[in-house]
Amino acid sequence: MDYKNILLNVTDHIALVTFNRPDKLNALNHETLVELKSVFEKIKSDENIFVVIVTGSGEKAFVAGADISEINKLNMLDGKKFAEFGQEIFSLIEKFEKPVIAAVNGFALGGGCELALSCHIRIASENAKFGQPEVNLGIIPGYGGTQRLTRLINAGRAAEMILTADMIDANEALRIGLVNKVYPQSELQSKAVEIAIKIASKGQQAIKLALKAIKVVDEVSLQEGLNMETSLFALCCGTEDFKEGTQAFLDKRKSNFSNK
């Protein structure tokens, strides 16, 4: 599939996915969402890719939300399908077996904020702005924002963002735990790559199983989560990476993971 609105670059086990509609502040139209799904399916089946970075082209926006010119035409039935399709793709990202890093390089509004929320790690540039401005349009977040924002940050703060539609800047996002770090815009992408390289250097079986364990937190009780962790830990002990990682430590050498 050729991509019109998304750029995909793969280097050294890292896929860089860039939303590329800068004249529309990288707003997510249906076509872009279809492409995004296809890009992630492609990355999923590519054993050479270990880590994914998502970002926006231009210096102004990560993603300024779903495309309002398309939202404007929705009726109730279409609205349900619209929300379901976005949620399907963002859940695919949230449950992705390879780590996904959001490098938020500007406006992350509505669907853009929801996209960042579905990623596993979020870093931002100093000019980034986050918000769920949907109530300005007479709608509510439909791509998971009411659920993921409320789970990630303080529930009262999430309610304030959703009900007032106010944007917050990168430093406030850092303060409330919405992003992990803030960098000058010129450094953001290289910092994201730095994190990705670090993750890509580990045994990928452990990375995959760690992600799986982390992601069940929202779905199960503490005891069920602990049971899951036990099973996943046991699985790690059956991998070649486990033998190599522990033996390399004992041999005082750098590990050479086969990712098996």
| Segment near ligand COA (CB under 6 A); pick from 22-30, 80-88, 224-232, 249-257 | 22-30
User: 35 vs 67, which CB is nearer to ligand COA?
Assistant: 67
Residue 39 contacts ligand COA per CB under 6 A: no
- Which of 31, 41, 70, 114 does the annotation list as catalytic? 114
- Which of 134, 187, 224, 229 does the annotation list as catalytic? 134
User: 66 vs 161, which CB is nearer to ligand COA?
Assistant: 66
Contacts of 145 (CB under 8 A, 6+ apart): 110, 113, 114, 117, 132, 134, 162
Residue 66 contacts ligand COA per CB under 6 A: yes
The Cα 176–Cα 165 span in angstroms is: 17
Residue 164 contacts ligand COA per CB under 6 A: no
* 70 has catalytic annotation: no
Residue 37 contacts ligand COA per CB under 6 A: no
The Cα 11–Cα 3 span in angstroms is: 18
User: 113 vs 209, which CB is nearer to ligand COA?
Assistant: 113
The Cα 198–Cα 95 span in angstroms is: 21
Among 99, 133, 203, 245, binds ligand COA (CB under 6 A): 133
Residue 114 contacts ligand COA per CB under 6 A: no
For the bound state, the minimum distance from the C-beta of residue 173 to ligand COA, rounded and expressed in Å, comes to: 16
User: 69 vs 247, which CB is nearer to ligand COA?
Assistant: 69
* 114 has catalytic annotation: yes
Residue 107 contacts ligand COA per CB under 6 A: yes
User: 134 vs 241, which CB is nearer to ligand COA?
Assistant: 134
Active site residues per annotation: 114, 134
Q: Could you list the residues that contact ligand COA (CB under 6 A)?
A: 24-25, 27, 64-69, 71, 107, 109-110, 133-134, 137
